[in-house]
Amino acid sequence: MKIYFIGVNGIGVSGLAKISKFLGHDVYGSDQLRTPMSETLEAQGITFYDSHCADRIKEMDVIVYSTAVKMTNPELIEAIKLKKLIFKRGEYLAKLMHFQEGIAVAGAHGKTTTTSMCAMLFLPSDATFYIGGVLPEVKDTVHPGTSSIFISEADESDNSFLFMHPKYSIITNIEPDHIDFHGSFDHIKESFEKFMEQTSKEIVACGECDTLLNMVKKHPKKARLYGFDTKFDIVASHVRVEGTRTLFNISIDGVLVYENIEIIVPGRHNVLNATASIYVAHQCGIAENVIREQIKKFTGAKRRFDIIYNDGFTIIDDYAHHPTEISATIEAAKTLNAKRLVVVYQPHRYSRTNFLFDAYYNVFKDITKGFILPIYSAGEENVYKITELDLCRQISENNNVEVIDESAVMSMIPEQGDLLIFMGAGNITYLAQKFAQKFIKIN
């Protein structure tokens, strides 16, 4: 079968192309520019085109397109005209998962890390996985495996997760986000409710989220709650931090099952992520010794508390862009006991900044110094007339935050013992790498 991917350089679509090639299909893809991803795809036997041309579509059997592809795209127009079998990225992902035992991870925050943890636990058994970030252990976002398990991140931003009908679902939390698509928090909750209904065996839900705690009451037979409270079905307890290690116990239905589980990614939120992942692995028959060794080796998904420099001072690249994520990242950073905690934050989208404006209040209260870059538009127009200066005033009461530009960031000189976090979902990761490279050259 010939499968053609439009917008193939994207992290999501490229992963689907790789899995399709592994399954034995003839795979082709196009995008506007040649990037390192294009070369990676070609190295795996996928034909890449750095332009969009309608003439190529005639010979193809299936067309898959990215959510970033507009309906004016000539290849998509031709595919519709020729009545080809056409799938959106999320729909095609669900089709691949449909033929296997699906484990889907959803939530406003933490889904990439939790999916990555699941992938690590099932990696020795050769499960297929599809993640929204790079798993360092395989240096990729996907792993096409030979077992019956298919682990995938489930994206609620455009409701593409509603194409899925997983056997197990992990839901880390439900919060208002992506309002530009959903319109209201009520619509988001309706979408998650449908996702839960489509889970066939168990909904593994975080009881620490009040919204989620209330919603799962509708599913008493298949919902399993995890968290720190002893009233939950799966309980993480005796959490303690020893240097860079975090140790904790896991009880299931009141019985201590795992004692002294060790992870090396910091923060109580990662204890929760690990607890959910371990429970699902336990339910699927993964051996205890495998669970212990694999979770201990987990270093984090790329751009999730990603240490990119550590010599005298530490630089971290992190994807946090929602106030709840920012707070969790700062809370995790505090456990490292740095001399100073400095954050460089790039707000993401005018719509998100406007809708979540109140939630930003005092979110940087526990850091030494914060810097706010210009808002990353992600293609949006600023119809809200909101600026990074407005956000700066909202974020902090104690005047420890100021607006900054890229050139001023590059002139910063960290002190011995400092911890610097570059934070955001836009292009700040390139600034973080550029900043770190400056000190790598010196040394």
- For the question of whether the overall pTM of this predicted structure is more than 0.85, the answer is no
Instruction: Identify the active-site residue in 153, 202, 208, 325.
Output: 153
Q: Is beta strand 168-171 parallel, antiparallel or unpaired with respect to 140-143? A: unpaired
Q: How far apart are the first and last CA of the chain?
A: 52
Q: Give the CATH number of domain 100-297; options: 1.10.287.130, 1.10.1740.10, 3.40.1190.10, 3.30.450.20.
A: 3.40.1190.10
CATH of domain 2-87: 3.40.50.720
Q: pLDDT digit of tens for each residue in the chain (443 aa)?
A: 999 999 999 888 999 999 999 999 999 999 999 998 999 999 999 999 999 999 999 999 999 999 889 999 999 999 999 999 999 999 999 999 988 999 999 998 889 999 999 999 999 999 999 998 888 888 888 999 999 999 999 988 889 999 999 999 999 999 887 777 788 989 999 999 999 999 999 999 999 999 999 999 999 999 999 999 999 999 999 999 988 899 999 999 999 999 999 999 988 999 999 999 999 999 999 999 999 999 999 987 677 788 899 999 999 999 888 898 899 899 989 988 899 999 999 999 999 999 999 999 988 989 999 999 999 998 889 999 999 999 998 987 667 899 999 999 999 999 999 999 999 988 999 999 999 999 985 44
Mapped onto helix, strand or coil, the DSSP state of residue 278 is helix
Q: What DSSP string describes 380-442? A: ---TT---HHHHHHHH-SSS-EEE--HHHHHT--PPTTEEEEEE-SSSHHHHHHHHHHHHHHH
Instruction: Identify the active-site residue in 111, 202, 324, 353.
Output: 111
Q: Which tokens go with 198?
A: 């489509």
pLDDT in tens, 210-235: 999 999 999 999 999 999 999 999 99
- Residue 208 bears catalytic tag: no
Q: What residues contact 207, with CB distance under 8 A and at least 6 apart?
A: 213, 225, 226, 227, 229, 231, 232
Q: Give the CATH number of domain 306-442; options: 3.90.190.20, 3.40.50.300, 3.50.50.60, 3.90.960.10.
A: 3.90.190.20
- Residue 388 bears catalytic tag: no
Closest-CA residue to 204 (of 258, 274, 113)? 274
Q: Where are the domains of the chain?
A: 2-87, 100-297, 306-442
- Residue 153 bears catalytic tag: yes
